[in-house]
Structure 1
Amino acid sequence: MYQSKLAAIILMLLFSTGEAFSQIQKHVTLEDVFKSDVFSQKSVYGINWMRDGKYYSSLRRDVTGPKVLKVNVATGEEEAILIDGGALGINFSSYAFNPDETKALIASDVESIYRRSSKGVFHVVDLESGNAQKLMDGEKIMYATLSPDNDKVAFVKDNDLYYVNLSDNQVTRITNDGEWNKIINGAADWVYEEEFSMSKAFEWSPDGSKIAFIKFDETEVPEFNMQTWGKLYPEDYKFKYPKAGEKNALVSIHIHDLKNTLTAKVYTGEEEDIYLPRIYWAGSSDNLAFLRMNRLQNQLDLFYANASSGSSKLILQEKADTYVDLNYNDDLRFLEDNRGFIRTSEQDGFKHIYHHDNDGKMIRQITKGNWEVSNLVAIDEKGKKIYYISTEQSPLERNFFVIGMDGKNKKLLGSEKGTYRINMSKDNKYFIADFSNANTPLKVTLHEASGKEIKVLEDNQRLRDNVAKYALGNKEFFEFETVDGTMLNGYVLKPSDFDESKQYPVLMYVYGGPGSQTVTNSWGGSRDFWHQHLAQEGYLIVSVDNRGTGARGREFKHVTYANLGKYEVEDQIAGAKYLASLPYVDASRIGIWGWSYGGYMSSLGLMVGSDVFKTAIAVAPVTTWRYYDTIYTERYLQTPQLNAAGYDDNSPITHVNKLKGDLMLIHGTGDDNVHFQNAVDLADALIKADKQFETMFYPNRNHGIYGGNTTWHLYSLMTDFIKRKL
């Protein structure tokens, strides 16, 4: 009796101990984050809505190769394979249909050039027969685009614009003056691609009879030289890069008529030192719309041009005391039957939607309030509705709304708190929502336009299961008031075993550039899980959105105009001082790190805030705005000729003598964006000031510093530095 009771007690103890042991959660390791992809996230890729509104297509890869699948919207079932890469023997990575969906253009062997540009091998697939027609005998070409009349494909090769007739493979060369580092036809130069978010610079007319394109004459633009390493003799790579205050490319707009083979030059004004960042066909093949901006980007003009003569007239003009942010307001849509256009603007202090007639006169402001429209999703002209994403619920969130074109009957379509991205069907009857928040990985769902959910397309259950196995800290949002009364948003990531009676070191993560945000209610990537690893090692991870960042209106964002770095760093220092006042923070151990603009902020912060910050890591930092490009820099600082102090007063190079803490400087030698020159000159200034620091360069790596073992090496390096110095 006694022995049986004892055995039962032992078994019960063993069971309960095993159960408790099974519930012990793991700690996040660097290997988990950067080598084993434990926290990698799935999505649904290559989704294109089909024209009948009853189906959408999706790109999926399996062991037999890439496939484009036809999916029934109502049932969510895959009903057909539209393109089978395995059967064709083509390992394509992207696809695009022509308007009537009888043909598709697929790209393979794609080679990246800069951030948005690439070239590859293109095939046209006949969707009825399944046959694939190779373009240009497999030569790599850029921006291949099917014509609306299904007969042709336009593309750029060696800086010239071409088109090919699909019926007989006859190639027509539209331009003949293209030359490397001199003339580009139909493709953007480096600075337009990077700062105006464009790479292709041509558009077919709606009937396929004309092609409008932008020509870049960069002959007088200074060259930048990067050496590439790895051979007995390093090689030079030279490309045109206009630094602040230097010459830009001369740009012009041209319209080629395929029938008469004539090319008309569009009149864009007498001033040559301008930007022409957008062209659009406005309702017909006779009317081309284009945007023009002055060099300082404080005036935006919308023109209509006659497609035959090239004559143009001004339709709308917007001016600002600071700047007109095109990238932030890139939502111009032309309505059918000459009913005008819809656009977004910050002109009332917050980004909102406006309706104008065809002559540019404002009909009404559709959305209003002390919040911002993040992006315009779709316009349902028949239903007289506009779908958009906004910050009305919170500047930390992006929520989905619909509103009448008369500005009435606004409705919230996504009820969960977090961040939405929306892909609306062409007939505006359905949408696909990508949703996440700080505690919920990406969830992709299919909905009716009313918001009713039809099907979950991806819920990342594997990731959710993996996350549940780890002792993760929660991201907590907070706000605090600076000395001038400004309220700033932030988040803190605490260790899962956080103890308020202890004191913790703090690592602040910063980007801080104009219009950006790091403090959002959204799921993070590998960088967030690196922060989780550091939290488990006993650090508090904090990020603060300083003045100049986005989603809080024009005044909040534009306060940094002509003085980049001053208010942003003041706010990061204020954030560090606020943290230092908390009982569980070790005020003697506060560090800061950032990448790109964030590297600029972290290095400057360590110097200007030497009494607050102990440590900083600056990855690929701008160290003087004199070295950065025209479009971005002059938008916020004017030119160096007009505002020398704005360039120099808040350069880390100017403040090297103030350095007291520990600095780690990291840069890729192949960075075409923020040149390695920035790190070299800061290092030289630190040496002259007799300041010790640590540095790491990554040979031939670009601004992202990745490839092979690079990411692992970089984050291991930074982790070691933080543990040694913080």
Structure 2
Amino acid sequence: MRKLLVLFLLTSIAATAQRNLTIQEATYGQYQAFAVKSLVSPQWQPNSNTVTYLNSTYSALMQRSENNNWEESTMLTKQDLMTALNSKFPEEQFMMQIFPYGYTWSNENTFLFDVAGKNGKYTVFFDVNTKQVTNAIITTPEAEQQALSPNNKHVAVLNGNNIIITSGNGKNVTVTNDADAGIVNGSDYTHRQEFGINKGMWWSPDSNKLLYYRKDETMVDNYPLVNFGERIAANKNVKYPMAGLKSEEVTLVVHDVATNKKTTLKTDGPKEQFLTTVTWSPNGKFIFVGVLNREQNHLKLNKYDATTGNFVKTLFEEKATTYVEPLHNLTFVPNKNDEFLYRTEKEGYEQLYLYNTDGKLLEKLGYNDVVVTEFLGFDTKAKNVFYMGTANNGLDRQLYKVSLKNGKTEQITTPSGVHNIALNSNATFALNSYSNTTTPNNVSIINLKNNKTTPLFSADNPYTGKTVLPKMELVTVTAADGKTPLNGRLIYPADFDASKKYPVMVYVYGGPHAQLITNSWLGGASLFDYYMAQKGYVVFTLDNRGSDARGRDFEHVIHRQLGQTEMADQIKGIDFLKSKSFVDKDKIGVYGWSFGGFMTTSLMTTYPETFKVGVAGGPVIDWKFYEIMYGERYMDMPQENPEGYAKTSLIDKAKNLEGRLLMIHGAQDNVVVQQHSMEFIQACIEAGKQIDYFLYPTHEHNVGGRDRFHLNQKIADYFDTYL
């Protein structure tokens, strides 16, 4: 009897521990309560075999070194930093809750980090040997984006729409002084951050010159966004270059720090072209710019004189019948002013090519159908290049090494899964973290001289003893072309019983530069998908043609007809589901956001007999209302492709709506403006179709923070109520 009582108590405790996810956990749990053990913000000290990272409480900087058999030890604490800061600036009050997540090694002894004080923002240089602040550059509290010079003596900051250079001596130099807010200098929001643009200011290698974007958007139409938080709702205008209408005009300007003189690069051509892949030559004499026409089908890689701004020559041109999409700056080979790597998908897969500065192709560095996803670096003598690339039909990410001399390629990592690699500065060691559908995280050090691996740790399953995640499996579906294999993810309902029938929630995105299914922990899914499966849904996702990591032809098939091929493939996914005896064919719903919102609404109005419930967040409804840079790349101008715009517009398809559709929008959305959903709602009214609508008054394109709980609960409730 006593044994039975003990067994009963143990069973009761286990039953209590094993519970379903809460909506809060389903929203942020995989990054918080159920975060897989990993190294936080890992970086290699330059010219060393020591890797540093933050501890689990973000209170100290830890280290592992080959010299100590990769054993863990503490290098510095947050208190060490605070003590040094207070000693250097006794009158300041610093706000540092955790050890700076964004620390960056400057050399083997010094790292830098940003910290806020009552008097401004500080870029701090800290010596790990002396535990002292060796230098600090302070900028005004209003400073937004910033660029630190290579010699660490100057910071160029964006203050509003103008640039100021701040030096360690406290001297400020005004670089631009444009009173018209329509002239924006140095912003990374140039060309709306398309074409891989993530900065708007570039220092020359010798730190003597600052190159920056000058964006003139005075001629771009104002678009009204209403702030409902005011006593009387106030209008806020933003510049929105809508497809087929006037675009911004951009130039590149060089500011000489010593003379304060400015030189504009003579990037001749139409004013509405795009300036991309902006790169200084290592000697600082030249600037390379990818000049892309507004049609986005003709790229010229041009060379300009940094002193005069004069055009020197076009190194090469790239043309396409669909579109050319430059996404990366040039990478010069170390110690060579005349050789660089260029990334392009011109031959089918985004891969590396070695060129010289005369425009001569020296070597193709591509390997089979591998898509390069991340450039990692060179070895010591720059004989080999390391990069991350795809494998396993795009599901895996592996480490590759390629010879610059002959293009011979070797795959370094072998376990199937998604590997994340950090190389030390001379590429002798690699920190490798990888996961797959059965491995939460495996962390090791790879000796790249002999490919031997030193394990550091394997993470435990963070859900064990807390909740039981439903079964998930990766599946393959043949595309609508009858030949292309598509990656899918199927999550079974909790307590799955094959003799029962279950409703389905299809989670969809389907657009360019997005991949939802990977051979990684949880299969690339969010915990919200598992939350819905725990509630009794089959949750299904398919990466249709048009999505990422499968090559040019796989993606470009969508050109000029967004949504058409994507829907055809998604319906093949539905056919796959319907072949399962446990799927209730009369209870299929679909949910997606942004391009996924477009896909959701497209599927609901094109296949009303199939989809009974839909939730469309921030949906594109008519591509003529979308921005030039993204929209015209895939659809061309409305005047050039009227048939395509008419075919993909959902306004005229509102009359086909049969099921329950919840449309959600952020009132401050400056990406997919609210006009999209308003036009669709009006069309529903005119067609006598009922639609549910919800607005988040303070949010832009995505709903974040605590309001994300509200959003996910609303989505779950909608499916529970109507499916």
Task: Identify whether the pair has TM-score above 0.5, normalized to the shorter chain.
Answer: yes
1:106 equivalenced with 2:114 (yes/no) = yes
Alpha-carbon displacement from aligned partner over 1:436-490 (angstroms, at most 9, x marks no partner): 2234334444433354444537x554xx243454222222111223453133221
What's the offset of the Cα at 1:612? 1.4
Distance in 2, matches of 1:248 and 1:667, equals 25
For residues 613-632 of structure 1, what are the structure 2 equivalents within 5 Å?
613-632=611-630
Partner of residue 288, structure 1: 287
Partner of residue 657, structure 1: 655
What's the offset of the Cα at 1:641? 1.6
Partner of residue 143, structure 2: 141
Structure 1 gap ranges (5+): 1-9, 111-118
What's the offset of the Cα at 1:22? 5.2
- Secondary structure class of the residue paired with 2:516: coil
Name the stretch that deviates more: 241-250 or 12-21. Answer: 12-21
What's the offset of the Cα at 1:433? 2.6
What's the offset of the Cα at 1:646? 1.8
Distance in 2, matches of 1:515 and 1:624, equals 20
Distance in 2, matches of 1:685 and 1:425, equals 57
Partner of residue 113, structure 1: none
* Equivalent in 82, 85, 99 of residue 86 of structure 1: 82
Alpha-carbon displacement from aligned partner over 1:183-233 (angstroms, at most 9, x marks no partner): 11221336432x234343111111111111121111111122211222311
Relative to structure 1, the CA distance from residue 590 to residue 419 in structure 2 (aligned partners, 3 Å threshold; closer, same or farther) is same
8 Å contact 1:283–1:334 — kept in the other structure? no
Alpha-carbon displacement from aligned partner over 1:146-172 (angstroms, at most 9, x marks no partner): 322333222222222222231x31111
8 Å contact 2:503–2:588 — kept in the other structure? yes
Distance in 2, matches of 1:580 and 1:334, equals 53
Name the stretch that deviates more: 299-308 or 53-62. Answer: 53-62
8 Å contact 1:34–1:526 — kept in the other structure? no
8 Å contact 2:472–2:522 — kept in the other structure? no
Relative to structure 1, the CA distance from residue 674 to residue 538 in structure 2 (aligned partners, 3 Å threshold; closer, same or farther) is same
Name the stretch that deviates more: 573-582 or 75-84. Answer: 75-84
Name the stretch that deviates more: 673-682 or 468-477. Answer: 468-477
1:307 equivalenced with 2:306 (yes/no) = yes
Partner of residue 720, structure 2: 723
Name the stretch that deviates more: 276-285 or 592-601. Answer: 276-285
Letter in 1 for 2:173: T
Distance in 2, matches of 1:238 and 1:44, equals 43
Distance in 1, matches of 2:120 and 2:624, equals 35
What's the offset of the Cα at 1:645? 2.4
- Secondary structure class of the residue paired with 2:342: strand
Partner of residue 322, structure 1: 322
Letter in 2 for 1:649: K
What's the offset of the Cα at 1:137? 6.2
Relative to structure 1, the CA distance from residue 138 to residue 382 in structure 2 (aligned partners, 3 Å threshold; closer, same or farther) is same
Letter in 2 for 1:241: Y
Relative to structure 1, the CA distance from residue 553 to residue 618 in structure 2 (aligned partners, 3 Å threshold; closer, same or farther) is same
Letter in 2 for 1:108: A
* Equivalent in 162, 174, 180 of residue 160 of structure 1: 162
Name the stretch that deviates more: 371-380 or 16-25. Answer: 16-25
Distance in 2, matches of 1:95 and 1:433, equals 20
Relative to structure 1, the CA distance from residue 331 to residue 559 in structure 2 (aligned partners, 3 Å threshold; closer, same or farther) is farther
8 Å contact 1:106–1:125 — kept in the other structure? no
Distance in 1, matches of 2:123 and 2:407, equals 47
Alpha-carbon displacement from aligned partner over 1:573-592 (angstroms, at most 9, x marks no partner): 22212311322211111111
1:27 equivalenced with 2:27 (yes/no) = no
1:456 equivalenced with 2:452 (yes/no) = no
Partner of residue 271, structure 1: 270
Distance in 2, matches of 1:294 and 1:107, equals 41
Partner of residue 579, structure 1: 577
Name the stretch that deviates more: 687-696 or 252-261. Answer: 252-261
Alignment RMSD (CA, Å): 2.8
- Secondary structure class of the residue paired with 2:253: strand
Relative to structure 1, the CA distance from residue 451 to residue 714 in structure 2 (aligned partners, 3 Å threshold; closer, same or farther) is farther
TM-score (norm 2): 0.90
- Secondary structure class of the residue paired with 1:416: coil
Distance in 2, matches of 1:35 and 1:213, equals 37
Alpha-carbon displacement from aligned partner over 1:554-590 (angstroms, at most 9, x marks no partner): 2121111011011111221222123113222111111
Alpha-carbon displacement from aligned partner over 1:577-622 (angstroms, at most 9, x marks no partner): 2311322211111111101110110111011011211111101111
Relative to structure 1, the CA distance from residue 286 to residue 669 in structure 2 (aligned partners, 3 Å threshold; closer, same or farther) is same
Partner of residue 88, structure 2: none
Relative to structure 1, the CA distance from residue 456 to residue 140 in structure 2 (aligned partners, 3 Å threshold; closer, same or farther) is farther
What's the offset of the Cα at 1:295? 0.5
8 Å contact 1:590–1:615 — kept in the other structure? yes
- Secondary structure class of the residue paired with 1:398: strand
* Equivalent in 521, 524, 531 of residue 523 of structure 1: 521
8 Å contact 1:433–1:447 — kept in the other structure? yes
What's the offset of the Cα at 1:649? 1.4
Letter in 1 for 2:47: D
Letter in 2 for 1:521: N
Relative to structure 1, the CA distance from residue 218 to residue 417 in structure 2 (aligned partners, 3 Å threshold; closer, same or farther) is same
Partner of residue 386, structure 1: 385
Partner of residue 4, structure 1: none
Distance in 2, matches of 1:201 and 1:377, equals 23
Seq. identity, % = 28
Distance in 2, matches of 1:273 and 1:21, equals 68
* Equivalent in 602, 609, 612 of residue 611 of structure 1: 609
Alpha-carbon displacement from aligned partner over 1:537-559 (angstroms, at most 9, x marks no partner): 22111111111112222212111
What's the offset of the Cα at 1:34? 4.0
Distance in 1, matches of 2:244 and 2:174, equals 35
8 Å contact 1:189–1:216 — kept in the other structure? no
8 Å contact 2:120–2:139 — kept in the other structure? no
Relative to structure 1, the CA distance from residue 375 to residue 152 in structure 2 (aligned partners, 3 Å threshold; closer, same or farther) is closer
For residues 177-196 of structure 1, what are the structure 2 equivalents within 5 Å?
177=178, 179-180=180-181, 182-189=182-189, 191-193=191-193, 195-196=194-195
Partner of residue 174, structure 1: 175
Partner of residue 592, structure 1: 590
Partner of residue 45, structure 2: 50
Letter in 1 for 2:314: L
What's the offset of the Cα at 1:82? 8.4
Name the stretch that deviates more: 131-140 or 540-549. Answer: 131-140
Partner of residue 471, structure 1: 468
Distance in 1, matches of 2:721 and 2:211, equals 58
8 Å contact 1:514–1:548 — kept in the other structure? yes
Name the stretch that deviates more: 215-224 or 492-501. Answer: 492-501
* Equivalent in 709, 713, 718 of residue 712 of structure 1: 709
Alpha-carbon displacement from aligned partner over 1:490-511 (angstroms, at most 9, x marks no partner): 1110124222222221111100
Name the stretch that deviates more: 442-451 or 355-364. Answer: 442-451
What's the offset of the Cα at 1:724? 1.5
What's the offset of the Cα at 1:367? 2.0
What's the offset of the Cα at 1:12? 3.5
TM-score (norm 1): 0.89
Distance in 2, matches of 1:32 and 1:359, equals 55
